[in-house]
Amino acid sequence: MGLMNSANLSGRRIQHYAVLSLIGSGAMGDVYWARDERLRRDVAVKALTATTGRRPRRGGPPAEALALSRLCHPHIAAIYDFLRHHDQELIVMELVAGATLKDVLAGGPLPVAEVVRLGRQLVSGVAAAHAANVIHRDIKPANLKITSSGVLKILDFGIAALSPVDGPDTVHDGSSGLALVGTVPYMAPERLRGEAADARSDVFSAGAVLYEMAAGRRAFPQRPIASLVEAILGADVTPLAMANPLMPVELDRVLMRAMAREPGRRQQSAQELLAALESVPTEPAGAATRLRPSNRRLVAIRRSALEMPPKTRIPAGLRGLAAFDALGTRHPA
């Protein structure tokens, strides 16, 4: 269907939502800061692009809205409403103020206590999604937001698979055929082979994210894309003990298993991965327990670095907002 130009939504009123400003844009949609005038709260409104129109039933809501409607968890951004405005489909969601994990990791690895604490939050949210038969399929640092109080929220279920409705791990790309979608550096090997995604695919992705948090680099840093795919399918990950000797060996064991090439060798559920993380010590390997630069960086982020670039033109009182959940998010010029 032809969609209206979502860039025109700023300054418009859609039912009882006053759309105030564009937060970010990406392949899966444009995200706006808006005001729910009925409930007197700020919300995020995602205007879906034509490529996000997957739906289990003809004429029904898109899969992203259905996925979010199944979920209620403190570490998953909540859905409030689904609207059709003329020929535009809109999802109204919780507005999460904070920095993406991608932004946080730009300064290097996190201390082990933060890796374990945030990792447990991430995996508990993933486990809740799996319990509702939702496979995220795009767990990555850019889709994880950390609030000023240190709470992690999982965003962007735009390519989620709803079991048992969704089976094959491909979605319509809006053009002439089927395409594998996701973010390659965090994609499980079976997905790259064109096989179906299940809970263990999300376990792999979560393991790759935790590895990056601990090591300060991706588990698979290879470039270009052909070399990256080849590495995920056949290369061994550098042991965490070599990438960052301050990380405990117990965390290394948990993450190496989570990123096992064959799904049968990983933790078989997010709940099992969560239980494994519960046993990981939160003290650095060796005797180094002083406040490291990465600790100070996280404290600084919580205090003042959760601001969007000035170009977003959002009032100073709401500068804690970063681009909400569009894939490949960029701030508007």
Q: How many CB atoms lie within 10 A of CB 227?
A: 13
């948990």: which residue's tokens? 254
Please tell me whether residues 45 and 135 are part of one structural domain.
Answer: no
Please tell me whether residues 28 and 165 are part of one structural domain.
Answer: no
| Catalytic residue flag (residue 166) | no
24-51 in b/e burial notation, b at 16+ Cβ within 10 A?
A: bbbebbbbbbbbbeeeeeebbbbbbbeb
Please tell me whether residues 164 and 182 are part of one structural domain.
Answer: yes
pLDDT band at 285 (very low <50, low <70, confident <90, very high): confident
Radius of gyration of the chain (CA): 20
**pLDDT value of residue 92:** 98
**pLDDT value of residue 298:** 54
CATH number at residue 114: 1.10.510.10
Asked whether residue 187 is domain-assigned, the answer is yes
Please tell me whether residues 260 and 311 are part of one structural domain.
Answer: no
- Candidates 242, 245, 246, 240; CA nearest to 258 is 240
3-state SS of the chain: helix, strand, coil percent to 5? 35, 20, 45
| Angle formed at CA 155 by CA 152 and CA 161, multiple of 5 degrees | 125
Please tell me whether residues 144 and 230 are part of one structural domain.
Answer: yes
Please tell me whether residues 82 and 123 are part of one structural domain.
Answer: no
CATH number at residue 85: 3.30.200.20
The one catalytic residue in 138, 156, 169, 252 is 138
Q: For the residues 168-184, what does the mean pLDDT come to?
A: 51
Asked whether residue 296 is domain-assigned, the answer is no
Asked whether residue 329 is domain-assigned, the answer is no
Number of domains in the chain: 2
**pLDDT value of residue 332:** 36
Helix (H) or strand (E) holding 225: helix 225-234
pLDDT at 148 over 60: yes
> Which residues form the domain of 88?
6-97+306-318
pLDDT at 10 over 70: yes
Contact predicate 96/74, CB 8 Å:
no
Secondary structure (H, E, C), 190-202: HHHCCCCCCHHHH
Please tell me whether residues 212 and 261 are part of one structural domain.
Answer: yes
Please tell me whether residues 17 and 117 are part of one structural domain.
Answer: no
Cα–Cα distance list, 169 to 111, 189, 319, 323 (Å) = 35, 12, 37, 27
